[in-house]
Structure 1
Amino acid sequence: MASFCALAEATSPLIVRYPLVKNVNLYKNQSAYFHELFKLALDNSGIDYKLEYVSVPSLPQSRSAKLIDQQVYDAHWMTTSSEREAALLPVRIPLLKGLLGLRVGLVRQENITLGNKVIQSSDLNNFRVGQGHDWTDTQILQANNIEVVKAASTVTLYDMLRKNRIDYLPRSVIEVQSELEVAADPDLMLEPDIALYYPQAVYFFTHPDNIRLNNAIKTGLETAIQNGQFDTLFNSYFAESLKQANMDERRIIRLRNNTLPFNTPLETKEYWYAEALLSSQKNNAG
């Protein structure tokens, strides 16, 4: 009887419930990318599946993790942490290639040359650096001995930058262009010379008991990496943001990220976009 049930599970379509977020505005590009990548992974997994959508409002990742734990839906993308990996099952392939931790800075026009005075991370303490009070990014900067002015939200931080209460606002290279468009303030611009980088992983997570789906996502992502479809999709969403940020021209200041779980696949260099940039800069310097 047990073998019959196992056979039925292996041959029947896998029902996959995925959250479809209503009223996505500021980060709709990322949301669409994760959705397409999830379907791409399932399409490359070799299994028969049926995708069903669960309509949800925009919600914090901590809430999404609880909904997976409660089996309201089966999988979603989230930034990793030791706590999250203890509660849910990650597929340890970084969906954004670490770009969430590749940060470029917003400044007022009067501070456009700020980066000329920053050679190492401690030089940032000559300026007022803003971040959210409960962001992991804030913990990372502080752990690297960078003083941080904290605020409750991204909107508040933009307002503080306008009002000269902070000088430098690091944002992910994949977030900053859309944020600038929404801000529509000609006095706010990208500082052109430096970028901060710390490895930061966004994974698909499943319920710990949903081994079949977790394995399918992993197999599908690995196959998409090998056949080039992962990079094709990634570039279709983010190549223009990277081009606009002139990453090849920036001096990248590497920071430690002690919040990463110990088994983050840092040794798999092709998973991390910024590693190629750092390697290129090292080779050029040599």
Structure 2
Amino acid sequence: MRRRDCLSLCAASLQSATAAGAGAGAARPRVRFPRPQRQFELRRWYPLALLEQALQRSGWEVELQPSEQVMVQSRALRELQEPDGAVDVAWSVTSAAREQALRPIRIPIYRGLFGWRVLLVPQSRRDALRAVQDLEGLRALTLLQGHDWPDTEILRANGLRVLTTARYDQLFAMLARGRADAFPRGVTEVEYELARESQTVALEPHLLLHYPAAEYFFVSTQRPDLAEALEQGLLRMVEQGDLDRLLQRHHGAALKALHLGERRRIALHNPLLPSATPLADERLWWRP
């Protein structure tokens, strides 16, 4: 099946699922989200499951609808700033600049997991980083990241050498060809990527990078109604333990398989982290 046809079918399935149970002819608010670059079943995507549940907790029964075009993160966030933008909500690791331009809902949807990073390496060099002990050792490597990802700026701020490209798929090809030593990936992302790229890349077994990071839902500053609904719904899920249960249902097995507590942890600082980040609220953050 072609990529476009697959995405269209997945989108149609999601819209059908979110519409189930509505009365005949009932009009429901439409909430548009960025169509992803990856191919997978959208109804099984954790951010969408969380988005739908949070809105339901606030009394919103919505139709979740992907944008017509695939959107990289930077474009999705730009669309949120436009009066007639193509999306109503997006999610991203936060930064001071993003919080100034958009309305953040300051509840980390992955409980900070995007700041915990393992490394993908070329298949032939699976054990090549065994000797890396600390940040200085890491600085001798060349790492890969997307050109518009906040992680790129964070890594460079720690003195790390980073090679970038605008195309997500190209990063894996560059790694397989030996253009870089490693590709840091979030612990909730790497299972899917390893399964897809298992012929050419491998999981580095020794290292775990960490910097404080929060991935939030963002909406337009012109949508206080949507922001309030999301905040209320997410808070209710946190208080009742449902956000953690949903995250564990989607990612718990993969996290366990990474043996994160047994890895050598290298701490990095995050200069992009806004002062309003609720780091003191222990309910919101995951710890290995």
User: In the comparison of the two structures, how many residue pairs are matched?
Assistant: 260
- Residue by residue over 1:219-238, the C-alpha shift from the partner in whole angstroms, topping out at 9 and shown as x without a partner, is 21111111121111111111
Deviation of 1:250 after TM superposition, in Å, equals: 1.1
1:173 pairs with one of 181, 187, 191? 187
- Residue by residue over 1:44-82, the C-alpha shift from the partner in whole angstroms, topping out at 9 and shown as x without a partner, is 22x3x3413444122123332343332555333233222
Q: Give the structure with the higher percent helix.
A: 1
- Residue by residue over 1:2-56, the C-alpha shift from the partner in whole angstroms, topping out at 9 and shown as x without a partner, is xxxxxxxxxxx996431255576346579721111112112222x3x34134441
Separation in 2, partners of 1:165, 1:74: 37
User: Partner residue of 1:232?
Assistant: 245
1:87-166 residue pairs with structure 2 within 5 A?
87-166=101-180
Separation in 2, partners of 1:32, 1:214: 21
1:34 equivalent to 2:40? Answer: no
When residues 108 and 23 of structure 1 are mapped into structure 2, their CA distance, relative to the original with a 3 A threshold, is closer
> CA RMSD, aligned part only?
2.7
1:51 equivalent to 2:65? Answer: no
- Residue by residue over 1:61-114, the C-alpha shift from the partner in whole angstroms, topping out at 9 and shown as x without a partner, is 333234333255533323322222112211100001122221111123443334
Separation in 2, partners of 1:170, 1:93: 24
Identity of aligned residues (%): 34
One-letter amino acid matched to 1:206: V
Deviation of 1:143 after TM superposition, in Å, equals: 0.9
Q: CA contact under 8 A between 1:100 and 1:174: conserved in structure 2?
A: yes
User: Partner residue of 2:94?
Assistant: 80
1:184 equivalent to 2:195? Answer: no
Q: Which deviates further from its counterpart, 161-170 or 128-137?
A: 128-137
SS of match in other structure, 1:126: coil
One-letter amino acid matched to 2:75: R
Deviation of 1:131 after TM superposition, in Å, equals: 2.6
When residues 117 and 243 of structure 1 are mapped into structure 2, their CA distance, relative to the original with a 3 A threshold, is same
Q: CA contact under 8 A between 1:16 and 1:74: conserved in structure 2?
A: no
2:73 pairs with one of 54, 58, 61? 61
User: Partner residue of 1:284?
Assistant: none
One-letter amino acid matched to 1:253: I
Q: CA contact under 8 A between 2:93 and 2:150: conserved in structure 1?
A: no
Larger radius of gyration: 1
Separation in 1, partners of 2:221, 2:52: 20
Structure 2 unmatched runs, 5+: 1-25
When residues 157 and 208 of structure 1 are mapped into structure 2, their CA distance, relative to the original with a 3 A threshold, is closer
Separation in 2, partners of 1:27, 1:253: 32
Structure 1 unmatched runs, 5+: 1-12, 278-286
User: TM-score with structure 1 length normalisation?
Assistant: 0.80
